[in-house]
Amino acid sequence: MLISLDWLKQYVDIKEDIKELENTLTMIGQEVEAIEEQGKELAKVVIGQITEYGKHPEAEKLTLLKVNIGEEEELQIVCGAPNHKLGDKVVVATIGAVLPGDFKIKKSKIRGVESQGMLCSEVELGLGNDGDGIIILPEDAPLGVEYRVYKKLNDVIFELEITPNRPDCLSYIGIAREIAAYYGRKIKCPEFESKKIIESINTGHIDVRIEDKERCKRFSGKVIKNIKVQESPEWLKNRLISMGLKPINNVVDATNYILFECNQPLHAYDLTKINDRKIIVRKSLNGEKIVTLDGVERELNKGELIIADAEKPLGIAGIMGGESSKVTEETTEIFLECAYFTPENIRKTSKELGLSSDSSYRFERGLDIENTAEVLERAADLISQLTGGEVLEGCIDKYIEKYEKIEIPLNIEKLRKFMGKNIEIDVVGKILTNLGINIKTLNSTTIIATPPSYRGDLTRTADLYEEIIRMYGFDNIENKMPEENIRPGVKDSMTVVVDEAKEILAKLGLQEVINYSFISKDAIKMLGITEPTLEITNPISDDMAVMRPTLIYSLLSNVRDNLNRNQNGLRFFEVSRVFTPKEDGLANETLRTSIALAGKTFKTLWDPKPEAMDFYTLKGFVEKFLEYMGVTRYQLDRSEDNNFHPGRSADIRIGKVKIGTFGEIHPELAENMDIKRERAYVAELDLTTLLNYRAKKVKYERIVKYPEVTRDLAVVLDRDVLVGKMLEDIKKSSNLIESVAIFDVYQGEKIEADKKSVAISIVLRKKDGTLEESDINITVDKILKLIAKNYNGEIRQ
């Protein structure tokens, strides 16, 4: 929002300098983003008069002039412009002036004759496009006065960042209210009295009907006759230019002026162009078209709120008027509209049409519904003055939904506690009154505040706290710690688990990745997920259309992107939530842990040929993670998940409950994911379910002082026997067995084709004494019988 200091002074007395005013505006919540001091480049540019006129002795097209700038000594100036004569009042850039473009005026010689300044054109001063001749001023232009002062080009423009909850500050009166409230001054609202004629507006001049009462809550209008549309006066054009607008004509410029003055959009219709003199506020018909004031034809297909006459649309309500009824130089009578349209409707329509304006910007944020009739009178008076028009007696005012005042209680003791300041009730009352808030005392500690209609952001006690504090001044509140016992917060149990899981995985040498919780519908098809998923109603993009039911796709995407960038030895993990739909339409959230590996182990000086990571590398990470998480009782079964390679993947189960799957991804999935250079291995564990099986207590076992005994067995088994289950059974068969591990698997010519030889190392130890040979033999025999009976195995000969 741009604010001209010169214009602002019309509504409130401002004695402060620019820096102090900037600080004040910022501290009361109207942040100053930038300040432009206009006319800086026009210093030492003054008004002069040509007192002597002659030709340059060495150049026919140049003139040699004497120019009086109100000082004792006249200036000798050489000029090349063709449009000046003796006695003209002109604009003189004196020696030392620095014009736009860093053009410095110096004493110089032109064709051998000294020149002590320069007569200026609009282009040279950066004020226009006319560079054919110098500026010729009226005869009454004051001699010696700076040109920027004479043309009021020495204004200061503040650029303010107005927050969305304060649409009332998108106007000069709104900002003036804020300054007046802070300094305890009075607002100088414009006085007006239109030139009215006896004829009433209700005598058939215009008929207004509101069909869409949900989106148009108030519609006010006046008729002005016998107007003369022409160029606006200089003061009005300067005001609009300071706001970055291009002047059009006196009627349109007046409505724009009132928009910035009062924060109320208006629109003027050529009354003769309104069919049957009927104004209808309705929703658009499907396929209805309108050419808006920007010259673009727009098709309306979504029931947009429009202003129409008996035959056609005249404008898109609250956003932009139409070409068909615009005010031109031929216009002699107008219908002036001032309305209230609901913010939600304007936001939606503006977005759908891709059309925004100063009016829609304000309607979107919510305006003062109580103010339309008063603003209409002010605008009619201004247009009447500018055009010589006559305003018909009365006003059409269709007020559908009346504004209801709200009362907000304010307890002074609670306010003091909140502020940390013993503020007096009289000071609070004065601050609220200065802000236009009506107050009444309920008792010695409580008052009732009633905000004005233009402060729609004030709805609760906390809002009043904010108003009081910002007007009291943040600098007036000392830094003071609250006198309350503040206990440190306690982490949520699941947060503790997540932090623990992340710490374990990071210490295992994995790198954490953080992905979005959304994936594409194509990803769901690629993973072959047939269960219901949670789709986003209005996704940011097609790649973020579904809440992910698994972490696998995200991690594989990370693997692919890193491999494509020549990164190797990838070791990723992610701990996050996955989502599935509930019957009530909400999300069921489950915590998962996922690991992804690809590429080779890291090269070292003593190991220059790193090996590729494989299923067993991943298995090691998974087993260590489970161990550190306190889950030790589980079994591995061959996985049948279609996303994993058959025979190179396993499900992790505790009893009949599956808590995760890990292994090499299926070649088809790798191809679909465009992972070509390396094999990728992924694990995904249900952390929420896994927590139910953690060891609640960690038991300490004293180190056994008795020696261990190792026995190695080579057992011949059928090729399809899963050795992992056999190892578990062996471990459980005797309390003397400390550990069981495979150290070799052989398949080849020396055994049958459908067999394999598995070499097992068994560590035996007695906790309360040294093992006897008989104990060892009994245990080994028991193991061999178990293998023979349950797995059809025998000792390799």
Annotated binding site for Mg(2+): 457, 463, 466-467
In eight-state DSSP terms, residue 139 is T
Q: Which residues carry a binding-site annotation?
A: 457, 463, 466-467
CA atoms within 13 A on the CB side of 498: 13
Rounded CA separation 568/546 (Å): 30
Pairing verdict, β 320-321 and 313-316? antiparallel
Measure Cα distances from 262 to 16, 102, 171, 377, 736 in Å.
24, 39, 6, 12, 92
3 state SS of 116: coil
Rounded CA separation 280/208 (Å): 6
Rounded CA separation 67/48 (Å): 6
Q: Which of 407, 398, 456 is nearest to 216 (CA)?
A: 398
The contacts of residue 211 (CB under 8 Å, 6+ apart) are 280, 281, 282, 283
Q: Which of 639, 640, 645, 638 is nearest to 680 (CA)?
A: 645
Asked whether 530 and 643 are in contact (CB, 8 A), the reply is no
Look-up: residue for tokens 């070791």? 571
Rounded CA separation 731/441 (Å): 83
Asked whether 410 and 460 are in contact (CB, 8 A), the reply is no
Q: Which of 547, 529, 527 is nearest to 537 (CA)?
A: 547
Q: Which of 740, 583, 590, 730 is nearest to 659 (CA)?
A: 590
Rounded CA separation 452/571 (Å): 62
Rounded CA separation 248/642 (Å): 70
Residue 215: exposure state from Cβ atoms within 10 A (0-12, 13-18, ≥19): buried
Q: Which of 344, 225, 210, 224 is nearest to 283 (CA)?
A: 210
Asked whether 112 and 129 are in contact (CB, 8 A), the reply is no
